[in-house]
Every structure is written in structure tokens, then in C-alpha cells.
Amino acid sequence: MRRPGFHHRQPGKPGGGGGAVKGTVGRLSIAVVVLMICTIAFLINFTSNDSTGSVSRSKLNVEELWESADSGGWRPSSAPRSEWLPPSIGSNGFLRVRCNGGLNQQRTAICNAVLAARIMNATLVLPELDANSFWHDDSGFHGIYDVEHFIKALKYDVNIVESIPEIKKNGKTKKIKALQIRPPRDASVSWYTTEALKKMKEHGAIYLTPFSHRLAEEIDNPEYQRLRCRVNYHALRFKPQIMRLSQSIVDKLRTQGHFMSIHLRFEMDMLAFAGCFDIFTPAQQRILKKYRDDNFAPKKLIYNERRAIGKCPLTPEEVGLILRALGFDNSTRIYLAAGELFGGEKFMKPFRSLFPHLENHNSVEQTDELAGNTQGLLGSAVDYMVCLLSDIFMPTYDGPSNFANNLLGHRLYYGFRTTLRPDRKGLAPIFIDRENGKTAGFEEAVKKVMLQTNFGGPHKRIPPESFYTNPWPECFCQMSPKNPADRCPPNNVLEILNDQLESQNEKELRNDTESSNVLNSSVSAEER
């Protein structure tokens, strides 16, 4: 029977073995060549960046992780690269939105609101932040963000007002009443240019509520996506006191060198969402089940099955074991960004024994302001900034976690800062084997899985990864690109946008003056 891929050897002449030997040598030579080609191809694929920017490594020097990831020649840029007209003074109406959820869900909604206003040529009313039942925080946009900077930073994109102005009609002064609409989830651009715009023109203003995930993330328009980045990474700046507080914490953490931040998502809401109950006491399981019944749709969830496919949040001990396997020692300083961990000291003790230098915003910066707002928007804003500025960031559950997802995208934009993203599905069988007593080769197995993950460099966005988690390549550019679409905008792009804005304002002012003159002439003619 012939073996595929090889030529069948012809039998040698009777009494002579030379043909057989030559045939054998020939087959061995071909096999060696094929083996060498496969080996070289494997090594090239394993050690180099592919077209998506994803990196696989054969070894890892933990000291390298304290530095930013390889940029591959890319740098952040969200400035327009094609014609981008400034917003018209005469808009189609006013857009109000109510951003529900926590700080980072609201942040995403604000980006979407600006884009929706641009799509409809609408004047955006400063977004409302929902004081929901979880946060119990009514700080509002003014209490968290720098409003003046927000409006100024987006002047080339949309017109923004703090409230709907009053109008005079029939000699009376009144405020336009916005029509309340519930937009569909992940609504398309066409919904805004048809349904929403139609209602806006009819009523003068619309009020979209709730406004979480109400605009599709994947839009086939790079300029629209870049606008989202301008909002998220430039316009949305926290108030000065929040920035000072965050920088003070970072400075104190850096007095002893590098530090990493970890979003330890081992909290009641996430554990209940994931259906991961079995490791807790019967009383704790009842609490989790009740929380799930009250807040999530009914669904049969079996712990062992969920755990085996990486659907459970990592325990604090598992986080510590991953870091140890990567080479971090017990001198590593770690900032914990998390709410109240579920299960208490039983779960934190093993982690603390591995990494005793654990901090949070209250332990580093003991202020009355933070102490009274631990679970509010202020505490979340400070955690966000400290995690953004940390040398390494590690999310332990980046599925439906808006905090982790937004930070991953922001750190990418902030200069490809190192992130450690555990592959929970790949790690699950390794941790399960360890629990069953199979500890041989544990650290090497963990390291092997982690070496296949991305460490914060540019990489292709593949669903379900969010645009807010990975805005590459739309919000990045190259000085010497292979693809002209990736070329960086000119250095004077802001001057160009400013000239366009001034030119348009002068034109619209001139048109308004001419219209006013025509109206006055008509009135004079009627009087005559």
C-alpha cells in the first residue's frame, strides 16, 4: 500500500541491493526536508507577530512585562483622516439620553450618545447619569466629569448644551418637551437616521431612555468609530480633584517601584450571574441563588459544567497561582480594584499569603471623601484611573465586566500598556487537575496557556470582543503604513478642523444676517 506524500519504491534487480538502499536514502532525505520545513514554519509562526498583531512566545521574562507591549509600529490616533465637516449651528433638534448602569457602562453610553447626535445632526444635551439602585449615587455628569473640557474637546464634532433652551412662541416663553423613546438594543445607524430623526423633527427634541448598548458597536465607518475614541479617550476627563486623587495614589504606589492593578471580580453579582455556587457554604449559596433569581433570567446552570469551560470568575487563590507561575514573587505590589469580595477572608487568605503587598484606594489614600464613597461613582472613577496608569493590569473576569473591558481598550490606546488576560477556558482543566491532586507540571502548564494570550499589543478584534475593549485598528495609525488607510493624519489636523469650523460659522452667520435683512425688507414693504 502506498503512503500518501511519498513515491512508491520500485523493486531492485535480483541479486543487487543498491536500488533498495538508494530508495531508502531518498525517502529519508525527503522526510528530513519535510520535517525541517514544518519545524521552521512552526517556529516562525510561534515567535513572530501575525497579521493581527497577536504574539505567541516560547519563553517569558517577567521583567519585560513591566514595560509596554510591542506596538508593531502603530500609535494611537483618533483624529479624522477624511473630510469631516464641523457641526452646523442649525441642527435637526435636541437629543437627551439617560445613561443607566455603573460608571463604565455609562461611559460607553456617553460615547454612543455623541455619535448618535452626530449621525442625526442633533444638538446633544449633556447626558444624564442614572442614580441607580446599585450605586446610590446622584453625582451626575457635573460631579464626575470635567464638563467644560467635554464640550470644548468635541466642538469639531457635535454641538452640546447643558439643557434644552427655552423658546419664544406666540409671545410666550416655554421649554421644548422631548418625546420619550425606548431605542432598540444595538440599534443600527439607519434607525437613527429614520425613526429617531423623524420623531426629532416632529417634536424638536427626543429623550432616549434607557440608553445602554443602544447603538451597534460594529459600524462600517471608521470615522464614526474614531469619534467614539475621541469621546472616550480625550473628551471624557474626570474632574480635577478626581485626577489629583488618582495621581496621588499612583505616586505613593510607585515610591517602591513598579506596581500592577487587578480587577478582582469575585463579587456577588458576578458569581450569581455565572451560576458558580458550589464552592460556598449552604448559607452563601442561598444568598447567591436569591440574587440570581431577583436579577437575571431563569436558566439551568450546573457548576461543574460552567467551571470546566471557564465560565466561573477566578478565585483570588487562582489569580495568585497564575501570577506565581508567570514569575512574579511575593514582593510584587498589587492594587486591588474591586467591590466587596464574596465569601470573606476564607478566599482572600491564600492570595494574601502569596502576595502580601495588597492595596486599595482606601489603604493608600485615607480621605473622608473616598471613605464615604467606596461603592459610588467617585471610588470607581479613582480605581479606573489607577488601573489605567498602573504598569500592568489584570482583569480576572472580562466577560460582561464593563470596567475591565473599557480599561483594556483605554490601556491599548494609552500606549499598548501591558495587560494579563487569563484564558479561563484554557486554565480550567489545569486548576481542576490540581484540586484532584495532580500538581506535577502545574506551573509550566499555566505558563503555556498564558503565553498564548495577548499581552496588550495590537491584535485583531474578533467577536464577541467589544470595540471598546479593542479599538484597533480604527483608532490607531502608522507613519509608514503598507495600507494607505492606516496612514497617520497630518500634524496640523486640528488647525484644519478649526479653520473649517470658523469658515462654517462665518458662512452661517452671513446667511442668518441675509435672511434677517430679507425679512425686515418684507415687513417694510408691507407697511408701505
The model's pLDDT over 401-431, given as tens digits with 9 standing for 90+, comes to: 788 999 999 999 999 999 999 999 999 999 9
CB 77, CB 475: distance < 8 Å: yes
3-state secondary structure of 99: strand
Spatial separation of the C-alpha atoms in residues 103 and 342, rounded to whole Å: 21
Burial 323-337 (b: 16+ CB within 10 A, else e): bbbbebeeebbbbbb
3-state secondary structure of 259: coil
Spatial separation of the C-alpha atoms in residues 450 and 462, rounded to whole Å: 19
Nearest by Cα to 154 from 144, 166, 145, 164: 145
DSSP string, 302-322: -HHHHHHTT-SPPPHHHHHHH
Spatial separation of the C-alpha atoms in residues 86 and 97, rounded to whole Å: 22
267 beta partners: 341
pTM above 0.85, yes or no: no
Q: What is the pLDDT of residues 141-167, one digit of tens each?
A: 998 999 999 999 999 999 999 999 887
Residue 235 has pLDDT above 60, yes or no: yes
Helix (H) or strand (E) holding 358: strand 358-359
Question: What is residue 54's predicted lDDT score, i.e. its pLDDT?
Answer: 39
Nearest by Cα to 213 from 238, 237, 182: 182
Spatial separation of the C-alpha atoms in residues 273 and 270, rounded to whole Å: 5
96 beta partners: 207
How much of the chain exceeds pLDDT 90, in percent?
Answer: 63
Q: 3-state SS string over 162-180? A: CCCCEEEECCEEEECCCEE
**∠276-277-282 over CA atoms, to 5°?**
175
Beta strand ranges found along 93-243 (DSSP E): 94-99, 123-125, 128-129, 160-161, 166-169, 172-175, 179-181, 205-208
| Rg of the Cα atoms in the chain | 29
CB under 8 A, 24+ apart: contacts of 429-438: 429/308, 431/318, 431/321, 432/307, 432/308
Q: What is the pLDDT of residues 174-199, one digit of tens each?
A: 888 999 999 999 999 999 999 999 99
* Mean pLDDT, rounded, for 206-226: 95
Spatial separation of the C-alpha atoms in residues 517 and 521, rounded to whole Å: 6
Spatial separation of the C-alpha atoms in residues 381 and 232, rounded to whole Å: 14
Nearest by Cα to 387 from 365, 358, 408: 408
Question: What is residue 259's predicted lDDT score, i.e. its pLDDT?
Answer: 97
CB 361, CB 382: distance < 8 Å: yes
Question: In which band, very low, low, confident or very high, does the pLDDT at 520 lie, cut at 50, 70 and 90?
Answer: very low
Grid cell locating 394: 489584570
Question: What is residue 13's predicted lDDT score, i.e. its pLDDT?
Answer: 35
Grid cell locating 196: 429617531
Distance of CA 378 to the CA centre of its chain: 20
* Mean pLDDT, rounded, for 206-218: 95
| Phi (first) and psi of residue 167, to 5 degrees | -125, 155
3-state secondary structure of 396: coil
Question: What is residue 369's predicted lDDT score, i.e. its pLDDT?
Answer: 67
Nearest by Cα to 118 from 84, 78, 76: 84
| Phi (first) and psi of residue 211, to 5 degrees | -130, 55
Q: What is the pLDDT of residues 242-277, one digit of tens each?
A: 999 999 999 999 998 999 999 998 999 999 999 999
**Where along the chain do its domains lie?**
94-221, 240-484
| Phi (first) and psi of residue 260, to 5 degrees | -115, 155
